[in-house]
Amino acid sequence: MHRGHRERVKNRFLKEGLDSFEDHQILELLLFYSIPRKDTNELAHTLIKKYGSLSAVFEADVADLMSTPGIGKNSAILLNLIPSLARIYFKDKWGHKPKLNSTAKAGEYLVSLFSGRLYEVFYVICLDAQNRVNHACLVHEGTIDQAPIYPRVIVEAVLRHQAHSVILAHNHPGGTLEPSQADINVTRRIAAALDTISVRVLDHIIVADGKYFSFADHGIIDN
């Protein structure tokens, strides 16, 4: 049942890639691998209609996905894996100790690091003397509204990873790139704390909706 159609969709992917596929067709293809004997086209349309976009389907909670008739545990896990897989893929593509010697490179690196994050998190990127990444420290995972940051935790992480300098980074899952006054205040507190151990804050970068905002480029922080 539907075998001929499935083979045509798979062969189309092999020939053309995903760029020519509509969002529901991408979902249909993915669901072939968790739903072996059912028409997944209608189910794909249902998911897009329910969540509003392909990315929203991938970002949906497993339990919520399973509330959709026809979506079982295997399908829900498969769909929910996509954002995390993308983040791990991009992190791996950057390789060991990538060199972040410009705002553009740092921004691109951090956009990939925050890929698929649904909640606000805060990273400290520990750099060596050549601006290569020693370690990307996830120092806090907060709610979607706020992620309280404690300078002491950051100082400990910086010392542990022997950072010569750091880039601070967090995401705004709500989509706005503009820093809040709280963002600016916490940046200054962290910079003051790290100054006591002679570690410079080169930048603080906010990521939202695949874009980034640099404090250094906007004159909010001296680098």
Domain residues for the domain of 136 are 97-214
Q: How far is it, in rounded angstroms, from Cα 87 to Cα 104?
A: 18
What total of structural domains would you count in the chain?
2
Q: Mark whether 138 and 83 lie in a shared domain.
A: no
Sign of CA dihedral 39, 42, 45, 46: negative
Measured between alpha carbons, how far is 129 from 80 in angstroms, rounded to an integer? 38
Among 26, 56, 89, the domain-final residue is: 89
**Same domain? 17 vs 123:** no
Whether residues 106 and 62 fall in one domain:
no
Could you tell me the pTM of the whole model?
A: 0.70
Q: Are residues 59 and 139 in the same domain?
A: no
Q: Output the domain CATH number for residue 200.
A: 3.40.140.10
Last residue of a domain, one of 26, 59, 89: 89
Q: Are residues 46 and 133 in the same domain?
A: no
pLDDT of res. 164? 96
Q: Is the pLDDT of residue 143 over 70?
A: no
Q: Are the C-beta atoms of 134 and 162 separated by less than 8 Å? A: yes
Q: Where does a domain end: 89, 108, 128?
A: 89
Q: Same structural domain for residues 105 and 174?
A: yes
Instruction: Answer yes or no: do 46 and 131 share one domain.
Output: no
* 113 shares its domain with 34: no
Closest CA to 143 of 127, 121, 175, 163: 121
123/79 same-domain check: no
Structure tokens at 196: 């006591």
Per-residue confidence (pLDDT) for residue 175, from 0 to 100: 72
Q: What is the pLDDT of residues 23-71, one digit of tens each?
A: 999 999 999 999 988 889 999 999 999 999 998 899 899 999 999 999 9
Q: Are residues 133 and 62 in the same domain?
A: no
Cα end-to-end span (Å), the chain = 62
Q: Is residue 221 assigned to a domain?
A: no
The pLDDT score that the predictor gives to residue 144 is 38
Q: Output the DSSP codes for 99-125.
A: B--SHHHHHHHHHHHTTT--S-EEEEE
Consecutive H or E run containing 59: helix 54-59
- pLDDT interval class at 3 (50, 70, 90): low
Indicate the pLDDT class of residue 145, thresholds 50, 70 and 90.
very low
> Scanning the structure block, which residue is given the tokens 């993308």?
86
Q: What is the mean pLDDT of the chain?
A: 89
pLDDT mean over 150-162: 89
Beta bridge partners of 140: 122
